[in-house]
A and B are shown apart, each in its own frame.
Chain A
């Protein structure tokens, strides 16, 4: 048993490269199979959600739950949208500043809430989501109130670049490339292939033991959350520039709760799990539009199912079932050969 695990660990880099490659191929294939502009828009939203879910998975790996992931994307979206409407900055600069703004806010929330027991942080992120909604609603001359900020700089503003869903696709490819690279980086951290990753895992598994070997839990949780916030800010800034708008309803508490459901549905510690969860919970609310309440009903139902039946998520649970069946067959085979030998 131990030898199997040892070989798995040393050869760990290959499957993750393969996973990242598969993600690239599937992402490209999906874009060319789906031809309507609407389908391609939803596909891009799915990629943005994969980014949000990846960022959140980092925080979950350190043993904390955040209800602000979509809200942090909103910070990125609003900052980059405001800059692109009110200044002459290039698209690149607005995206960079939007990303950094979300990172700074995430750092502040982390410094405030992550030095305390776990539930303080959940509540702090919940409160931040609510404050964001209140401020965006109240500060109308900056945020545009319920309409959001319209007329955001689009990808076509960069020469040779396009992200229009009907014509050019270089913007989509760039987004997909960012997703694949970050998926690889986040997986490397979550599976402990490097020093930082091993520290995050130590903190997530046991505060006391981590502290005893000199790994500061609050510090590394804050690092994980700040990195997740940067990823969220990047995702939000990119989304605002292909939608052309930053609207409040995209980044409210319900959206953050949905991102959490994505990570838990697929499996918070598995790259295929996070990706499949994010894509599934992008498409299911789109297909099942039986009323304005459908999104809440869907994420609510998933949470109840996850809490009772799938605490590890779909992919790890499926993997365990397959392994169990395989082991049983192997045992039966061994029993049969044992009988004939005896």
Chain B
């Protein structure tokens, strides 16, 4: 029983990081209405940015995450302007562009940095112990950071004038334009912020995943699954689905099979597609 409780805690902690990982993708879906197959690649680049910064500048961990996110914001806005904006009108061409970046990314990373696993330590050490429950402080700290970022995004969208503009564009870009909110800069900033979020998530997950050229596909798939299970564009849905997938993966690893555990999120995806395609928190109109 204590073992199960411990695994549940581990699953929730992992799921918090999954939720942050998928948050950017759900915002891109919800606000920009694009399917971004380059998302995992940008996540990976964020992880490498963090690793390069920390190993060359020896910055403290939190500062590393902040700088990596700033870099990813610049990369995101630039990429939106150069590549995604011209192709916006066609979903097919956007998908092809994303697949191109998805294929190029790991190859270029391996050619630049090699295929070795790189460490991005947080510097937080020690274990929280309470009877049979043992959790590394590092995991608690990274999830706390993720929670801060998720709450910041939720508060920004809900309470600020800029957040209201984002919601207006997400709701109906044409009507928002008529009301004086130009969708283009909103898309640009949204892509930048969401890319920064994925970079931050990569730095936080790097404490348990490490930084490798294969984290891109793992991040992309988990994000897609979390977004669909949670319901497109819903922050609450992303949180719940992230935790759900985290718990499923952790329990699968312990109680089913280490090798088969990566398939656990897809079991959830298939169930959702069968029973509730609009997602747990989604609105029905989006699914059809």
Chain A residues proximal to chain B, CB less than 8 Å: 65, 67, 112-113, 115-120, 122-124, 126-128, 130-131, 134-135, 137-138, 253-254, 257, 260, 264, 291-293, 296-297, 299-304, 306-308, 311
Chain B contacts for A113, CB-based, 8 A: 273
Chain B residues numbered 68-102 whose CB sits less than 8 Å from any CB in chain A: 86-87, 90-97, 99-102
Chain B contacts for A112, CB-based, 8 A: 270, 273-274
**A-contact bits for B176-207, CB 8 A (1 contact / 0 none):** 00000000000000000000000000000000
Known: A113-B273, A127-B224. A304 touches B104 (CB 8 A): yes
Q: Which of A117, A134, A304 sits near B100, CB closer than 8 Å?
A: A304
A301 to B259, CA, bound (A): 33
What's the nearest-Cβ distance from chain A to residue B223, in Å? 10
Our count of residue pairs bridging A and B at CB distance below 8 angstroms stands at: 115
CB distance A303 to B225 under 8 Å? no
Can you list 11 A-B pairs, Cβ within 8 angstroms, ordered by A? A116-B277, A117-B286, A119-B35, A122-B35, A124-B269, A257-B103, A260-B99, A264-B96, A296-B107, A300-B107, A307-B97
Q: Which of B108, B260, B269 sits near A138, CB closer than 8 Å?
A: B260
- Tell me whether B228 is interfacial, beta carbon within 8 Å: yes
What's the nearest-Cβ distance from chain B to residue A291, in Å? 8
A128 to B269, CA, bound (A): 10
CB distance B104 to A300 under 8 Å? yes
What's the nearest-Cβ distance from chain A to residue B42, in Å? 14
The B interface is mostly helix, strand or loop, or mixed, namely helix
Q: Which 5 A-B pairs have the closest CB atoms?
A: A303-B100, A300-B103, A300-B104, A138-B259, A293-B107
A322 to B279, CA, bound (A): 49
A67-B99, A137-B259 are known; give 13 further A-B pairs, CB within 8 A: A117-B287, A117-B288, A122-B35, A122-B95, A127-B221, A127-B270, A134-B259, A134-B263, A291-B111, A297-B108, A303-B100, A304-B97, A311-B90
CB distance A253 to B96 under 8 Å? no
- Tell me whether B217 is interfacial, beta carbon within 8 Å: yes
- Tell me whether B257 is interfacial, beta carbon within 8 Å: yes
Chain A contacts for B260, CB-based, 8 A: 134-135, 138
Chain B contacts for A264, CB-based, 8 A: 96
CB distance A311 to B93 under 8 Å? yes
CB distance A297 to B104 under 8 Å? yes
Chain A contacts for B86, CB-based, 8 A: 308
CB distance A120 to B277 under 8 Å? yes
Q: Which of B96, B102, B259, B263: most chain A Cβ within 10 A?
A: B96
- Tell me whether B133 is interfacial, beta carbon within 8 Å: no
